Amino acid sequence: MTFENENPFALRSTLEYEMPDFSRINDESYLPAFYAGCEEQLGEVHDIIKQADVTFENTVVAMERSGQLLMRVLTVFYNKSSSDTSDRLDEIEEEVAPKLAAHMDAIRLNQDLFGRIKHLHENRDSLELNNEDAWLLERYYMDFTHAGAHLTDAQREELKGLNEELSKLETLFGKNLLADTNDLAVEVDDVAELDGLSENEIAACAAAANARGLEGKWLVGMVNFTGHPLLSSMKNRGLRERVMKNSLLKGNCDVKDNRIVIQQIVKLRAKRAELFGVKTHAEHVLQDRNAQNPENVHKMLKQIAPAAVRNARAEGADLQKAIEASGENFKLESWDWDFYTEAVRLEKFNLDTTAMRPYFELERVLHDGVFFAANKLFGISFKERKDIVTYHPDARAFEVFNEDGSKLALFIGDFYTRDSKRGGAWMNNLVDQSHLLGQLPVVVNNLNVPKPPAGQPTLLTYDEITTLFHEFGHTLHGMLSDVKYPRFSGTSVERDFVEFPSQVNEMWLTWPEVLDNYAKHYETGEKIPQEWVDNLKAASTFNEGHATTSYLAAAILDLAWHSLPADATVADVEAFEAKAIADYGLDYGPVPTRYRSTYFSHIFAGGYSAGYYGYIWSEVLDADTVDWFKENGGLTRANGDHFRNTLLARGGSINSMQMFRNFRGRDATIEPLLKRRGLL
């Protein structure tokens, strides 16, 4: 059989929405398709270069058409390896990572190809391009120069070696972290230790233990960030301490030690930055972001940090009083924070978020909350397609329609945690929207909600609902994309802009019309008590000192690592972390950083290096946008259409900050964010 007949990636899928044919895809499909895809794209690049004339169509547009086979296999592979990996997929990723880096360098550092793009860029005013075409040319020129196409021959050769080595190390970081996260799950022998947890939570712990062959025991699996959602209701202080301390150890064990990997990554990234004529990785990265340079990031963060830690210390004082009022005399520690926060929240606001969980059942939140809000705003509707085969039995497909009944997208929801899934929550595309290629989007959301035993409802925490709305905001950005070129599809925007639409979508989870529709008791159908809703709003800034301080500490760690020059030596990772956080005035023992370096996959195994600040940078835009919605009537089709047409549908096809101005009518201000977080 030929490759075209044998391999499911060889040709564009004939399934609806060009959904990958998961009934045919297996572990052995990936490598042949990957190598064939690389060869095919290099051939396409060769065909571009050999043409005598240089036009926008035969160079830039031709590049947009290239690499389709490679894109088909990579989108499926990286979604599968992050959401349902295996030893074989890990082996494949280790093989693919350096070769993919080399392949991208072979294109981005190709002098003949760059010469054509540079020629077009220098003569852009005479090309009579429309706005999207002109921006595509601008982005291609920036992509190639930022990748190093303008460097000398010797520098480009050195750069290739650095990129290849970095790809190996970043893959190793993620592999170490997943293995360590699984190994550090806390085993519980006596159910009495789980006092305070709900029946469903205890059942989920039992199911997790059974999945590992630990019959008659319970397992508290680790999550990707510091701490654990169960700490808020876990009465046993000793168990809380074990869970918290294990969460802080991820990637920090002798066998799977990411401390060594981090130092190698940081040094190589700094060496790479030197090739570009700057001293640090942060300087290089931020040249191509809205922030432009590290100084602008620090300027913004320093407006927030002092008030954040001041509020956190005040919150800690209240928690210490609650500890003493309960008859205990120990000093507040990080593993006590969530538990006593619930006690103080109950005392101050008569609000018990754990009691809300029966009103937050997954199916109702999804259909009557997330989908309902999207329908009210954008007129889109959803239909589950159980006939569509996905990459895992837990991953469910929903067809999405425009208001006129036309097809818009396919949405895949994969909500449950498993040992083969990396921690956290994220959005991927399996197919990018593009008019050039005639493609509608296929978008995936991954969460890590504990799966209850069969037949039991999935009751979400308030934080898990927030995550669901947040990730679906990314999905909307992908699904509502209406651009010509794949380079601009959906979330293909700057890292310090990409979180903005997803954070805006969080506003709808407490919007009265939406909350009334989904927050109903899973057994009785009774609506969540209005008093609880009122108290929830009254407590909107409660614990924001902790949340902001924890986040800022992680953002500062990211900047600290990536502000090191290549000749710097870090003898002790823990000491480096402590100093970086203390220098910013964010050192407060009961509030550890949201991510320690050894499990900070955003920056060492993802695309957020020198960019984790982007969440709060984007939140400035988000908070200002929420104010706009409130000023203009909230959840209306007119507002949704304006947000869709000026921003979501545009993807990356115009400058991000200009896109925001087109939507808002002005630049964003920071005051709405400071007010939201109680930092004024």
pLDDT (tens digit per residue) in 302-323:
999 999 999 999 999 999 999 9
User: What three-state secondary structure class fits 589?
Assistant: coil
> What pLDDT, on the 0 to 100 scale, is given for residue 161?
97
Is-contact 217 188, C-beta < 8 A? yes
pLDDT of residue 343 exceeding 70 = yes
Q: Is 449 helix (H, G, I), strand (E, B) or coil?
A: strand
Q: What is the pLDDT of residue 305?
A: 96
- Look up residue 346 and give its amino acid: L
Distance CA 554, CA 424 (A): 15
Q: Determine phi and psi for 428, rounding to 5 degrees.
A: -130, 160
Do strands 407-416 and 442-449 pair parallel, antiparallel, or not at all (unpaired)? Answer: parallel
Of the candidate ranges 115-119, 146-150, 285-289, 353-357, the one whose mean pLDDT is the lowest = 353-357
Positions marked active-site: 471
Q: What's the rounded mean pLDDT across residues 625-636?
A: 97
SS3 420: coil
Longest CA–CA span in the chain (Å) reads 84
> Which residue type, as a one-letter code, is found at position 595?
Y
Other C-beta atoms within 10 Å of 433: how many? Answer: 26
Tell me the pTM: 0.90
How many CA atoms lie within 13 Å of 401's alpha carbon, on the beta-carbon side?
9
Query: Please, are residues 288 and 306 in contact by the beta-carbon 8 Å criterion?
Result: no
Q: Say whether pLDDT at 254 is over 80.
A: no
Spatial separation of the C-alpha atoms in residues 76 and 149, rounded to whole Å:
29
What pLDDT, on the 0 to 100 scale, is given for residue 352?
87
pLDDT digits (tens, 9 = 90+) for 204-245: 999 999 999 999 999 999 998 999 999 999 999 999 999 999
Using one digit for the tens of pLDDT, what is the confidence trace for 77-91? 999 999 999 999 999
In angstroms, the Cα distances linking 47 to 62, 101, 106, 487 are 9, 22, 15, 20
Q: Which amino acid is at 294?
A: P
User: Where in the chain are the domains?
Assistant: 3-108+110-150, 179-254+310-357, 358-538
Give yes or no on whether 3-108+110-150 and 358-538 have one common fold: yes
Residue 188's SS3 state is strand
Looking at the DSSP assignment, which residues form a beta bridge with residue 407? Answer: 401
Q: What's the mean per-residue pLDDT of the chain?
A: 96
Please give the C-alpha separations between residue 520 and each of 364, 368, 457, in angstroms, as whole numbers.
8, 10, 13
Nearest-angstrom CA–CA distance, 662 and 131: 14
- The H or E element spanning position 186 is strand 186-188
What is the band of 616 on the pLDDT scale with cuts at 50, 70, 90? very high
Q: pLDDT tens digits, residue range 582-614? A: 999 999 999 999 999 999 999 999 889 999 999
Kindly give, in sequence order, each residue whose CB lies less than 8 Å from that of residue 597, ignoring residues fewer than 6 positions away.
Answer: 258, 259, 262, 557, 561, 573, 576, 577, 604
- Joined together, the tokens standing for residue 615 give 């969440």
**In 3-state terms, the chain is what percent helix, strand and coil (to 5)?**
60, 5, 35
- pLDDT at residue 1 tops 80: no
CATH code reported for the domain at 358-538: 1.10.1370.40
| pLDDT band, very low/low/confident/very high, at 554 (cuts 50, 70, 90) | very high
**Tokens at 95, concatenated:** 């093989």
Class of domain 3-108+110-150: mainly alpha
Find the mean pLDDT for residues 53-72. Answer: 98
